[in-house]
Structure 1
Amino acid sequence: MFSHQEVRPGIWVGFTGTETGNLAFHVGDDGGAVARRRAALNAALSEAVGTDVALAYMNQVHGNAVAMLSAGAAAGKSAPTADAMVTWGTAGAGVAVMVADCVPVVLVGETLDGGVLLAVAHAGRPGVERDVIGAVVSAMRAAGADAIEAWLGPSICGYCYEVPDQMRQSVAVKEPESFATTSWGTPSLDLPAAVLAQLRSNHVTAHPSGECTLENHAFHSHRRAIRDGSAEGRFIAFAVSAR
């Protein structure tokens, strides 16, 4: 149902795939089915990490707003409209970001007093241009995070993300590392490279995924769905705490 790794004692980072099913309400899927999949994922995560987990989701709009969730407030509340989210790593806390070609970023930050902050960010082409990465890192540091580490999930790669040349030029003005060319020689954007560059500029240690959603059918892809006429879907990246 998902892959996950313990990145700190009691802190888990992971990603779902197509086997988990679509986890988004906004892509035309049956709402009841989506709710059941989310509940099943919460149950599976709870069993895996050893404490009750309820993931918090966002209404993502390709911006750079950061939602700050108080400890224990994550799930049960209406989803904030934002493209990044930060919460305290108390037992059962969990945050999720939905994607299907954009770069999902999970961040974990430690505070000087031994606390942990969990965060996720939705870094598509507009998010790279609007520096959602800088916004979420700034929010984490303002909340006390001293050491921050990030994990990128699967996303469309620079060899596949074809765009008009004017768009490539426009994004590259904001982040030069985004400038790329497809494997067939046309203009493209390398979003993972751009996000890694933005994390470096914010002094955040980052781990790339290396998986392309358009090429790897284990993950949902918006561009593949359009190309093939198949149903849309979204997978998630998440961070959860069992501390």
Structure 2
Amino acid sequence: MKLKPAKLAPVLIAACVLLLVCIVRLTEPEIIERTEQMTYDFRVRAASHFSSPAATNLGCVFISDESIATLNDGSLGFRYGLYWPRQIYGRTYRELAAQGAKAVAFDILFHEPRPDHAQVPVSNARWPKVTEFFTRLYPETEPVVFEDQNEKHTLLESDDYFAWQLQQGGMAILASEQNVLPLSLFATNAFATGDITAERDPDGVLRRAKAFKVYRNWHSAFRQAEADA
């Protein structure tokens, strides 16, 4: 059966369009992607003019130049430069938990120990379970306890203090990125781990984020066998 010219025209037009798209895709593959990105940006800008429902129970704690300066001027009873010890994050997390936060997610990687940070004195009267936490971490080591103004204090490493606060709050979500996981000391005391990987488009703009990422977390025995091989 032969198609009539009137019915053949749409088929030819569609075939020509498909052929043109294939040629452009093969010769200039970035053109289609750039066009899609431009239309996406246009749609986002257009959508910003219309109000939409937004969550009212979300908050963000930024590390700004002012907060860095405040921690460095000694007004809080201690002073630290840009690379804060883990106890600072532990104190911040403790405050958020005290304010009633249901979950606290960190956008910072805690993937290695920091033994170079100063120890943290913890009041035994105010936090009587601190020695129990220390003993659970180091069953064969006695905690360092000293007395100041008739009050006993236990010394914790900065990393241990952060892990203790994670365990106390019970709702911290730690960050991982590109298969870099949190230190085991922190991961075992946190509620969960979330991936923060952000891949920008070729033009440097961040337009998309993965809903989840699968990590393969081998048992330490398998890792040791791989290292010995």
- Using the size of structure 2 for normalisation, the TM-score is 0.28
Q: Specify the structure having the higher radius of gyration (Cα).
A: 2
- Using the size of structure 1 for normalisation, the TM-score is 0.27
Question: Structure 1 or 2: larger helix share?
Answer: 2
Question: Structure 1 or 2: larger strand share?
Answer: 1
Highest relative contact order (Cα 8 Å, sep 6+), 1 or 2? 1
